[in-house]
């Protein structure tokens, strides 16, 4: 009998989401790799790479995402699938380009742009953000300039070189998580801190949301802001989960 050709499933947007047409979801094993099959047809990424990972735990978690879909496929409920798609299609074949893109976050790193007033926010930024920058300097020899206001900052050439070395040393999974976290937080330092185990996902999200959280403490809660904060925390937790399941 002919082998199953497999199925390529692009995660739909909310506007173009597709109905669930498959009935069964299973983890499949071939060699040292684990994948996911829908009705016995192996999943592929949007780039037509077979959706496979050396981690059985990650494959099992992705199979749960697909099996948990109801009438329609909801992309927002499938963050691990999205991260593995990204890892296979975009990160693995383009590591040098990804590193170069990530370096663009260095001079605009959130943690380097501080306020000079009010004193309690100044103190909170220093207490939460400075230990991350200190860790970055100690662990990777990346020393970043800190300033107040919105004027652009620049960091020493040596810091750029050391940051590039730190990023180039990451494996594909780590680089995938690094890219996702930097994009979510607008901070290279927070991305490296999460990947390097300095911060948990909850601590990373709290650091990224520091200013907005402080404002709500002063002026009252805002539902849109609360939703953004919760959404960011959920996204970063998914990144942390992907990283842990991949090891």
Q: Where are the domains of the chain?
A: 7-75, 93-246
pLDDT at 75: 86
pLDDT in tens, 74-131: 988 999 999 999 999 999 999 999 999 999 999 999 999 999 999 999 999 999 999 9
Residue 5 binned pLDDT confidence (cut-offs 50, 70, 90):
very low
CA–CA separation, 98 and 95 (whole Å): 5
pLDDT at 1: 34
**Hey, which residues does 26 pair with through a beta bridge?**
37
pTM: 0.90
pLDDT at 9: 52
Closest-CA residue to 145 (of 114, 189, 112): 112
pLDDT at 247: 86
Residue 10 binned pLDDT confidence (cut-offs 50, 70, 90):
low
pLDDT at 4: 45
Q: Which CATH architecture has domain 93-246?
A: Orthogonal Bundle (1.10)
Contact 7, 26 (CB under 8 A): no
Burial pattern 107-133, b for ≥16 Cβ within 10 A else e, equals bebbbbbbeeeeeebeebbeeebeebb
pLDDT at 3: 43
Match domain 7-75 to its CATH number in 3.40.50.2300, 3.20.20.70, 1.10.287.110, 3.30.2180.10: 3.30.2180.10
Largest CA distance in the chain: 73
pLDDT in tens, 12-68: 554 456 899 999 999 999 999 999 999 999 999 999 999 999 999 999 999 999 999
pLDDT in tens, 161-215: 999 999 999 999 999 999 999 999 999 999 999 999 999 999 999 999 999 999 9
């Amino acid at each position: 009998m002919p082998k199953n050709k497999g199925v390529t499933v692009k995660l739909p947007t909310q506007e173009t989401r597709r109905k669930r047409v498959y009935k069964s979801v299973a983890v499949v094993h071939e060699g040292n790799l684990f994948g996911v099959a829908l009705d016995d047809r192996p999943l592929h990424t949007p780039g037509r790479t077979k959706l496979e990972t050396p981690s059985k735990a990650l494959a099992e978690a992705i199979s749960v995402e697909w099996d948990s879909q109801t009438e329609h496929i909801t992309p927002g409920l499938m963050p691990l699938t999205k991260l593995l798609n990204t890892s296979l299609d975009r990160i693995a074949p383009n590591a040098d380009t990804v590193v170069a893109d990530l370096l663009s976050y260095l001079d605009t790193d959130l943690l380097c742009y501080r306020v000079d007033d009010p004193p309690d926010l100044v103190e909170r930024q220093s207490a939460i953000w400075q230990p991350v920058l200190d860790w970055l300097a100690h662990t990777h020899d990346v020393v970043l300039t800190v300033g107040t206001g919105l004027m652009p900052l620049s960091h020493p050439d040596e810091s750029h070189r050391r940051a590039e070395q730190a990023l180039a040393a990451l494996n594909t999974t780590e680089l995938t998580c690094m890219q996702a976290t930097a994009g979510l937080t607008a901070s290279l330092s927070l991305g490296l801190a999460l990947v390097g185990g300095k911060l948990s996902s909850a601590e990373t999200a709290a650091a990224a949301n520091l200013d907005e959280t402080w404002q709500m403490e002063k002026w009252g809660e805002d539902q849109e802001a609360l939703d953004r904060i919760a959404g960011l925390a959920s996204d970063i937790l998914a990144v942390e989960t992907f990283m842990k399941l991949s090891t």
